[in-house]
Structure 1
């Protein structure tokens, strides 16, 4: 299922959500166009969250919990994250307010990084991407708009598109169950040196569920 939009409408312009999207895309284009592959790898090692560095007590590694959110491993990684933020982020910002939404986003992303570090403490692979923060946004969307629906494209037989409206609680809940199942499977791995940071998704989502209740000015059922 590919999400195309949702049925909820924002009552205000989501300036912070758009700023996050613009900055994220701009950083990706800048580093991809200006850096050689070798320098790009070095930048990711420096500003991505490397679990082993944090566990070792490297103070500089703490900042990477924030910087890693604005780095992505390719166009598909970037587009999938930005698209999810575009669909779900505007309504969450509308309910929280701009400054609270920014705080919420950065906290969810940081907690997501910490959970990934806890799950893979010896990994030398840098974790990058905004998906942990966006997982928190998706969790907040469920709390703030429990009756909303997600408009999704379901490909039938790989060529026949089918548009459906799916309750957000089912769409996002199913996504979260996949993350939990996949995350548990990775715990059996001898070494995790790359791939999808499922535990960051899980950590960001749970953080979003808990944090949104503290920051929300009101819960609007729509």
Structure 2
């Protein structure tokens, strides 16, 4: 998997919505129980119980979205001692959860620093240009629509699942889909892991197309042993929805600047036509 670090595609105005979305995601993450001090997630039972209670309230659950089946007992965030040892206490919910609203709140919830930073990196690099092309308000609506399409699309494919769905990646996948339509030839600096991280400048269609193909393969359960832990199908759906929404904007989109050469590991080579 390549890691994008910068695109050669300047914007005309400040991407305030992109910055606001990143700030909101970071603030929610810092408010998530057990997350700020951990790299990979909750690390002890007390943190896990608090996290489960938080997720149950704010994450999207496919079974709830499709069938409206809300649980009668939910984690309270407290640790108790049961017949099989310590565990998380459950009780009737003290709040009323709205499944449609949970799709929105789930877009701002992340399960670890790695989860958060990976999503925010993609949003920062590619979201600014899409916002610049669409305008602030339309971009915000576009982002939310892609997130809802990804969330409900995944739920329909996994209607019986009670596993929580969290993260901004469905909405961000829509941003990537829009970017590949609007600027397929824009140059993107990426780091490619090959013994060391090699810096390359590649066209957006190759970087984002390769990302999409990986998501599609993973969503089928091929090539990975833990495909069920990541909602790859939500990424695929979000990407395709974003791509379709952006198609009408393609005709009026100015092309990105074309540098004189393509750099491979620091050596300039003649520019090719993609």
Q: Under a length normalisation based on structure 2, what TM-score does the superposition of the two structures give?
A: 0.74
Residue number in structure 2 paired with 1:220:
254
Aligned-pair CA distance for 1:215: 6.7
Residue number in structure 2 paired with 1:179:
215
Residue number in structure 2 paired with 1:149:
187
- Aligned residues of 1:95 and 1:216 also touching (Cα < 8 A): no
Q: Give the CA RMSD over aligned residues.
A: 2.3
Residue number in structure 1 paired with 2:23:
22
| Residues 127 and 73 of structure 1: CA distance in aligned 2, closer, same or farther (over 3 Å) | same
Aligned-pair CA distance for 1:25: 0.3
Name which of structure 1's ranges 74-83 and 160-169 shifts more when overlaid on structure 2: 160-169
- Consecutive unaligned residues in structure 2, runs of 5 or more: 37-46, 70-96, 257-274
| Residues 193 and 138 of structure 1: CA distance in aligned 2, closer, same or farther (over 3 Å) | closer
For 2:112 and 2:236, locate their aligned partners in 1 and report how far apart those are by CA, in whole Å. 22
For 1:147 and 1:180, locate their aligned partners in 2 and report how far apart those are by CA, in whole Å. 22
Residue number in structure 1 paired with 2:268:
none
For 2:238 and 2:63, locate their aligned partners in 1 and report how far apart those are by CA, in whole Å. 20
Give a deviation string over 1:51-102, Cα, whole Å, max 9, x none: 1111222582111111100000000000000011011000110000000000
For 2:35 and 2:205, locate their aligned partners in 1 and report how far apart those are by CA, in whole Å. 41
SS, match of residue 141 in structure 1: helix
| Residues 21 and 91 of structure 1: CA distance in aligned 2, closer, same or farther (over 3 Å) | same
Larger radius of gyration between Structure 1 and Structure 2: 2
| Residues 12 and 216 of structure 1: CA distance in aligned 2, closer, same or farther (over 3 Å) | farther
Alignment pair present for 1:206 and 2:240 = yes
Greater relative contact order (Cα 8 A, min sep 6): structure 1 or 2?
A: 1
Alignment of 1:91-130 (within 5 A): 91-130=129-168
| Residues 34 and 144 of structure 1: CA distance in aligned 2, closer, same or farther (over 3 Å) | closer
For 1:209 and 1:64, locate their aligned partners in 2 and report how far apart those are by CA, in whole Å. 24
For 1:217 and 1:106, locate their aligned partners in 2 and report how far apart those are by CA, in whole Å. 24
- Stretches of 4+ aligned residues off by more than 6 angstroms: none
Residue number in structure 2 paired with 1:49:
60
For 1:161 and 1:217, locate their aligned partners in 2 and report how far apart those are by CA, in whole Å. 36
Alignment pair present for 1:3 and 2:1 = no
Give a deviation string over 1:103-125, Cα, whole Å, max 9, x none: 00000001000111011111110
Residue number in structure 2 paired with 1:168:
204
Give a deviation string over 1:143-172, Cα, whole Å, max 9, x none: 121220110112322xx3321011100110
- Aligned residues of 2:33 and 2:50 also touching (Cα < 8 A): no
| Equivalent pairs, count | 216
- Aligned residues of 1:54 and 1:62 also touching (Cα < 8 A): yes
Q: Name the one with the larger helix percent.
A: 1
Aligned-pair CA distance for 1:27: 0.5
For 1:217 and 1:41, locate their aligned partners in 2 and report how far apart those are by CA, in whole Å. 47
- Aligned residues of 1:150 and 1:165 also touching (Cα < 8 A): yes
Q: Under a length normalisation based on structure 1, what TM-score does the superposition of the two structures give?
A: 0.90
Q: Name the one with the larger strand percent.
A: 2
